[in-house]
């Protein structure tokens, strides 16, 4: 479903149409894909988008139990998701199992911690935690392992583009390093 159709269906007036038109160039490029996009292409598209919370308003929904993955648009070649985080919410330690991912911090501050496997197979942080402020774009390949969380007192909104579409990923026990497959939860907007 394209972002324009989703916002028109919600019928929230002129602001929604303006948001749809600001998303339109990004969605048009993604809809034209005939295979997975290069990671640098995803980064560039987000950098040029200039998107704000207002632009994503039809897709901004928070959940109390865990962060909310709100689908903006999806095809076999990509998935665009507006992720909304309340204070204290976090992803599990995970990879992207076959998909590259770039995300834009639209509002708030994300904290990212990157992990890797040692020679003995143990999983551990590769470096310290990084605060990703509003406007920051993070890009990771399918093999990268990380966690993202909202440690701040305010809401956090991030816009993720996965290519190809993310259907499964691995989550890792940070103590044992053991991986298990997981299908991410999503909300259609």
Q: Which CATH number characterizes residue 174's domain?
A: 2.60.120.10
Rounded-to-integer distance, Cα 122 and Cα 153, Å: 33
Among 87, 97, 90, residue whose Cα is nearest residue 148:
90
Position 168 scores a pLDDT of 85
pLDDT along the chain (189 residues), means of 10: 30 45 90 95 95 96 96 96 98 92 98 89 86 96 91 98 92 88 73
Judge contact between 90 and 148, C-beta under 8 A.
yes
CA 11 → CA 17, 59, 72, distances in Å? 9, 13, 15
> Which residue(s) pair with 180 in the sheet?
171
Strand intervals (E) in 2-155: 68-75, 78-85, 100-107, 110-117, 123-125, 130-132, 137-140, 145-149
Position 13 scores a pLDDT of 38
Position 2 scores a pLDDT of 34
Position 51 scores a pLDDT of 96
Position 72 scores a pLDDT of 96
How many domains does the structure of the chain reveal?
1
Position 187 scores a pLDDT of 64
* Global confidence as pTM: 0.85
Domain coverage including residue 139: 3-188
Rounded-to-integer distance, Cα 89 and Cα 74, Å: 24
82 secondary structure, DSSP code: E
């Amino acid at each position: 479903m394209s972002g324009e159709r989703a916002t028109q269906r919600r019928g929230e007036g002129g602001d929604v149409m303006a948001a749809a038109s600001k998303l339109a160039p990004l969605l048009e490029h993604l809809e034209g894909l005939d295979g997975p996009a290069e990671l640098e292409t995803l980064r560039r598209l987000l950098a040029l988008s200039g998107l704000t919370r207002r632009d994503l308003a039809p897709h901004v929904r928070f959940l109390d139990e865990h962060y909310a993955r709100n689908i903006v648009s999806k095809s076999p070649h990509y998935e665009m998701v507006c992720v909304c985080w309340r204070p204290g919410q976090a992803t599990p330690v995970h990879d992207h199992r076959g998909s590259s991912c770039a995300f834009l911090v639209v509002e708030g501050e994300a904290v990212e911690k990157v992990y890797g496997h040692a020679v003995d197979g143990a999983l551990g942080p590769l470096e310290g935690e990084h605060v990703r402020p509003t406007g920051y774009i993070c890009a990771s390949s399918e093999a990268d392992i990380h966690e993202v969380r909202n440690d701040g007192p305010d809401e956090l909104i991030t816009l993720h583009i996965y290519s190809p579409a993310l259907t499964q990923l691995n989550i890792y026990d940070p103590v044992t390093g053991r991986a298990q497959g997981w299908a991410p939860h999503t909300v259609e907007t």
